[in-house]
Amino acid sequence: MTDNILIHKYDRVGHISLNRPKALHALTLDMCHAISTALSNWADDDSVEAIILDHAGGTRGFCAGGDINLLRKSALEDNGVMGRKFFHDEYQLNHQMMAYAKPIVCFMDGITMGGGVGIAMPAKFRVATEATRFAMPETGIGLFPDVGGGWHLSRLGGRLGQFLALTGARLDGAECLWAGLATHYVPSEMVADAKARIIEKPDRIGGVLSEMVGSPPEARLKKNADKIAKHFASDRYEDILASLETAIAENDCEWSTKERDTLGTKSPQTCKVALRQLAESAAMTDFADNMRMEYRIGSRVLVRPDFAEGVRAVIVDKTHDPKWNPATPEEVSDELIDSIFAPLPEGEEWVPLD
C-alpha cells in the first residue's frame, strides 16, 4: 500500500482519494496498484454499494496525469522496460474500472489530464466543477492520448475527440458537461455536501447529483463546434492542416490561425498516431481490444525519439522547442505508423486483470 492513496469505507460507500498533492496527484505505479486492490476487495463485498473517487485537499488538481519522469527515465535508460510495465498495469486499472459492476462517482474537481482522464472516464458518474481543467495534452510531448483515450474521445460527436486529441485543448467544467465528458456539474463549494449525501444514499446517486447541479455557465467551446466539425473532419492529418490553411487564406483567421499554430507545436508522428488510434477505436466493441491496441502503441512510441525529446522540451528544460523526428507530417510514413500499431511478439501483448 502507499501513502499516496487514502482508502476508507463509510457505511455503504468505498472512498478512494488520490494523495500526492505536490505532483497534482499524478499516478505512480504504486498508486495504480493500490486503487486496483481496493476495487478488487470491494467488488465482492456486499456491504459496499458504490465508490467515490476524488483527491485529498484543495481544488487545484484531481489528477495531472501519469508518472512522466519514470517513463522518460525508462525510455533513456532501460529501453522502455519499466515504462511498459507502468503502461501495462495502468491500463489494467483502466479496464478494471470500465468493467466494474458497482457505480463509481469521480469528482473531477481541478486539473484532470492524461492518466487522470484514464481513471475518471470509466466512472458511471463524472462530476465536473468550475475548477475542472480537462485535457489530453500528450501530442505536445510526443506521446498519444492513451489510458483509454482512443475509446472515450472517438465516441464524442462533431469530431470533438479528434480536436482534443490533436490540440490538447483544455476544457472547463461547463464544457465537459456540454461535450458529454462529465455527467454532472456541481459547484466546488457543494462538492463536500454531495459526497456526504452520496454516502447517506448510495442507491440514488444520480438523484443526489441532479439536485445539486444549479446553472453551469455556457460552454465556450460550443461556439466553435461547427469549425471543429469542419476542419477536423478528416482522419488524414495533412487534410486537417490544409483545411485550416484554406480558412486562413479566406480570411477566417483568428480561430483557424490559433489552431494551426497550436498543431505546429505538436509531434507530427503522434498526431498521425492519434488520428489512426481514434479511427480504429471507434470501430471496436470491446474496451479490452482498445487497451490492447493502445499498449502496442505505447510500447513503440515510448522508445521513439519524440517522447524523450518532448518531455525534455516541455517538462524538464521548459524550453518548448522540441526537435521532432520526423520533423514534418509528410515525413511520417504510413509504414512507420503501421509498425507502431503492429501486434507485439507472442507473450508480450497486454492482458486484462484476471
Return d(Cα 107, Cα 44) in angstroms, integer. 24
Return d(Cα 302, Cα 309) in angstroms, integer. 11
Counting every residue written for the chain, the total comes to 354
**Residue entry with cell 492513496:** 5
What residue type is assigned to position 188 of the chain? S
Q: Which residues contact 232 (CB under 8 A, 6 or more apart)?
A: 159, 162, 163, 166, 240, 243
The terminus-to-terminus CA distance of the chain in angstroms comes to 20
**Bridging pattern class, strands 125-128 and 184-185:** parallel
Return d(Cα 98, Cα 252) in angstroms, integer. 41
Point out the catalytic residue in the list 66, 114, 161, 310.
66
Question: Is the separation of the CB atoms in 282 and 330 below 8 Å?
Answer: no
Backbone angle region of 147, left / alpha / beta, with phi > 0 → left and psi within -120 to 50 → alpha: left
> What is the widest separation between alpha-carbon atoms in the chain?
63
**Residue entry with cell 499516478:** 27
Point out the catalytic residue in the list 67, 90, 146, 306.
146
- Whether 138 is catalytic is yes
Return d(Cα 309, Cα 294) in angstroms, integer. 21
Point out the catalytic residue in the list 61, 83, 115, 116.
115
CA distances from 354 to 11, 113, 195 (A): 28, 28, 31
User: What DSSP character marks residue 312?
Assistant: I
Q: How many helices (H) and strands (E) does the chain have?
A: 16, 9
Point out the catalytic residue in the list 54, 138, 175, 306.
138
Q: Which residues are known to be catalytic? A: 66, 115, 138, 146
